Amino acid sequence: MKIFISADIEGTAGITAWDEAKKGQPEYAEFREYMTNELVAACEGARAAGATEIVVKDAHSSARNLILSKLPPYVSVVRGWSGHPDEMMFGIDGSFSAALYIGYHNKAGTDTNPLAHTLSGAVSRLLINGEVASEFTLNSLCASRYGVPSAFLSGDAGMCAEAEAAVPGIATLATSEGFGPATKSLVPAAAVAAIREGVEKALARNAKPSLPKLTEQFELVVEYTNPTDAYRNSWYPGMKHVAPRTLRFEAQDYFEIQRAIRFVV
């Protein structure tokens, strides 16, 4: 069994403020360690369920966050940004049995995580076929493009609820809940134990989560906070500038949606 894990930080247990997620800030070192510990717990759970190969994508900010000395020897890790449209899922292919998402956060405009956003602070909303999308939305569709089911997600309670609605059968673990700029959270040790157990159970069970449906036609709508971003990005081939802050793009192949996002977000 071959497992792919995409690891973010804003859904890590306890994280509450942006300085805790930004390289160079004093608080970052502590939360970088928590992020790594949760990722290692997911790897251990996958290994216990029978995984023979695990590939991890460091998928936050610089993509150079995980403490490599803490990762098990049976793991390989993808660091940095290649520029490939798969972005947070770069390294996945059709040979994987399942995709896992650790430390994930809810989409821009939601109040279930003080750090909620979608890819960039420049985006106020991103929609796929009329539905407001999170990073998990984009990444689970990417996995689906390769025929890989999304089996487990940890992160804020709102993101967990949306993942369960989008992918029936996915297992989730809520590490925190947002209250304006505050959070109520599991402590790191409890989150680590629960993630390890949750991943093992999710991968060991016989039932498989469904794949998000790849429709015959896709519409991408990007609403920016600043109209100058919309104007600048409107020159992407096939992009329509439909309102001062809004762009629309249509394609039959989801990869073309990923490629457009890669250049306009």
Q: Does 53 appear as a known binding residue?
A: no
Active site residue 241: no
In terms of Cβ atoms closer than 10 Å to its own Cβ (0-12, 13-18, 19+), residue 213 is exposed
For residue 75, what are the contacts with CB-CB under 8 A and spacing of at least 6?
43, 54, 55, 56
Q: Does 8 appear as a known binding residue?
A: yes
Does residue 2 contact residue 41 with C-beta atoms inside 8 Å? no
Find the catalytic residue in 117, 145, 196, 245.
117
What the block records as the tokens of 132 is 């407001």
Q: Does 105 appear as a known binding residue?
A: yes
In terms of Cβ atoms closer than 10 Å to its own Cβ (0-12, 13-18, 19+), residue 46 is buried
For residue 174, what are the contacts with CB-CB under 8 A and spacing of at least 6?
154, 155, 156, 157, 160
Q: How far is CA 27 from the centre of its chain?
A: 22
Report phi then psi at 72, rounded to 5.
-65, 155
Q: Residue with structure tokens 């023979």?
A: 52
State the catalytic residues. Answer: 117
Known binding-site positions for Zn(2+): 8, 10, 60, 105, 135
Known binding-site positions: 8, 10, 60, 105, 135
